[in-house]
């Protein structure tokens, strides 16, 4: 059974703090294994990647065979039924439209001292996109990573995806075609991250790596950060549903299980204002688990990591929601109440407002991005977007007059910091014209 907490009960603060402190990540041995793999790929390049691909994916290949030919992925994509093709194209168009609205604008102005200031946004040259390919295929993740990169203007997009047994997933291949991947490679795990970061004889390195993966992929991204940029360290999926007693318990149960089915380490949390309703949701979860194809995974997630929090006033639950800082937050309330509460919440990867907005819509076709912060990282970061594929360069241009206006403060600060050459580079210009 999931953990039950009552915000009105004595000891709630202690028990809630203990819940927040739970670690759902895998053991420390993962980082040790990943460090060895990365070092091996750096040392042996293609040979190491080939060996790991044979070991983990049971794929025999030479270096040339690691890259999937465009003709092969097009052939695989042709196997996708028309309805699924149309769904992917529909989703891609919505994702593109939303992210075009997020494109930042260059800034260029002259302030009251006569100094010109500005900022220019330019795309990253090359990006590597990791796509999971183990227990499940995620063509939606292909779109969520590559489409914003295309909107940003990234010149080279390299997709890596494991192909267990050498089998290409038609949906993933089609998504790579629709989104516009320039290269697709049949490698996964920490070895793929290492190859993207450091390059091999066959694969040129990239400048940034994005995309979700398992614990080994997350650990590898953490280790190569600095050599390349990364989007975020993705942990197990999460959903928090705020629901009052006026909801259908079956709807809320389905929402909770929508993330629980990802992984046994996923977390589903219900915040409710009525104990009887919460009990009804728990009963509905058990009923739906009996007919779910991924019942083993979802059941373990709900049993080991699920939580029901009872609150006396659902309109005032924002502090609890913010403390959990979940990846996905559903507000299954009347529209006005949901809207008001949404503005009180500061820490959430994405907020889904109203009873008719299940989180799964955001996973696929809303247009917003489903690559979101987990493990309470929503306290300090947001989800993947077009800005993640852009760099901002500041622009400064002084005239003789504006330099003279700024110089006294600059000289005072250089002196305070004991940086004589800083100050001299300013003062030496004050006696010159032109």
Q: Which residues contact 302 (CB under 8 A, 6 or more apart)?
A: 2, 256, 257, 260, 268, 285, 289
The DSSP code for 379 is: G
**CB of 384 closer than 8 Å to CB of 119:** no
- Find, among 142, 190, 137, 141, the residue nearest to 167 by Cα: 137
- Which of 183, 327, 330, 359 is catalytic? The answer is 327
- Which of 99, 262, 328, 347 is catalytic? The answer is 328
**CB of 145 closer than 8 Å to CB of 434:** no
CB neighbours of residue 203 within 10 Å: 23
Query: How many angstroms separate the Cα of 2 from the Cα of each of 49, 146, 300, 330?
Result: 41, 37, 10, 19
- 327 noted as active-site residue: yes
Beta strands 116-123 and 229-230: pairing type? unpaired
Rounded to whole angstroms, the Cα distance separating 119 from 391 reads 10
- 99 noted as active-site residue: no
Rounded to whole angstroms, the Cα distance separating 143 from 88 reads 8
Radius of gyration of the chain (CA): 25
Burial of 384: CB neighbours in 10 Å, binned 0-12, 13-18, 19+: buried
The DSSP code for 273 is: S
Give the active site residues: 327-328
């Amino acid at each position: 059974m999931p953990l039950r907490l009552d915000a009105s009960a004595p000891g709630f603060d202690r028990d809630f703090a203990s819940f927040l402190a739970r670690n759902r990540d895998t053991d420390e041995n993962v980082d040790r294994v990943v460090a060895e793999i990365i070092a091996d790929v750096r040392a042996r390049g293609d040979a190491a990647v080939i060996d790991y691909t044979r070991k983990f994916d049971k794929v025999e290949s030479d270096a040339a065979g690691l890259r999937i030919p465009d003709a092969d992925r097009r052939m695989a994509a042709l196997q996708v039924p028309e309805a699924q093709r149309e769904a992917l194209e529909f989703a891609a168009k919505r994702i593109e439209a939303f992210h075009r609205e997020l494109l930042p604008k260059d800034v260029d102005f002259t302030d009251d001292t006569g100094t010109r200031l500005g900022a220019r946004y330019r795309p990253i040259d090359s990006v590597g996109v990791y796509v999971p390919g183990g227990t499940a295929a995620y063509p939606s993740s292909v779109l969520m990573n590559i489409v914003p990169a295309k909107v940003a203007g990234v010149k080279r997009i390299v997709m890596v995806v494991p192909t267990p047994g050498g089998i290409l997933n038609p949906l993933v291949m089609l998504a790579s075609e629709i989104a516009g991947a320039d290269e697709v490679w049949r490698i996964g795990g920490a070895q793929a991250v290492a190859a993207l970061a450091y390059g091999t004889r066959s694969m040129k390195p990239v400048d940034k790596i994005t995309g979700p993966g398992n614990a080994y992929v997350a650990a590898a991204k953490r280790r190569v950060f600095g050599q390349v940029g990364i989007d975020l360290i993705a942990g197990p999926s999460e959903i928090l549903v705020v629901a009052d007693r006026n909801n259908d318990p079956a709807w809320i149960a389905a929402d909770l299980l929508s993330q629980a089915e990802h992984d046994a380490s996923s977390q589903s949390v219900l915040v409710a204002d009525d104990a009887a309703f919460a009990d009804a949701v728990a009963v509905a979860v058990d009923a739906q688990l009996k007919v779910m194809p991924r019942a083993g995974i979802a059941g373990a997630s709900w049993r080991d990591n699920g939580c029901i929090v009872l609150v006396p006033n659902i309109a005032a639950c924002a502090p609890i929601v913010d403390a959990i800082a979940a990846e996905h937050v559903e507000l299954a309330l009347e529209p006005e109440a949901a809207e008001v509460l949404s503005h009180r919440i500061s820490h959430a990867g994405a907020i889904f407002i109203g009873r008719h907005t299940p989180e799964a819509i955001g996973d696929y076709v809303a247009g917003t991005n489903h690559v979101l912060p987990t493990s309470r990282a929503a306290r300090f970061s947001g989800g993947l977007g077009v800005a993640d594929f852009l760099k901002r360069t500041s622009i400064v241009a002084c005239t003789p007059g504006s330099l003279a206006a700024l110089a006294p403060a600059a000289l005072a600060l250089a002196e305070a910091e004991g940086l004589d050459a800083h100050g001299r580079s300013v003062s030496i210009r004050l006696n010159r014209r032109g």
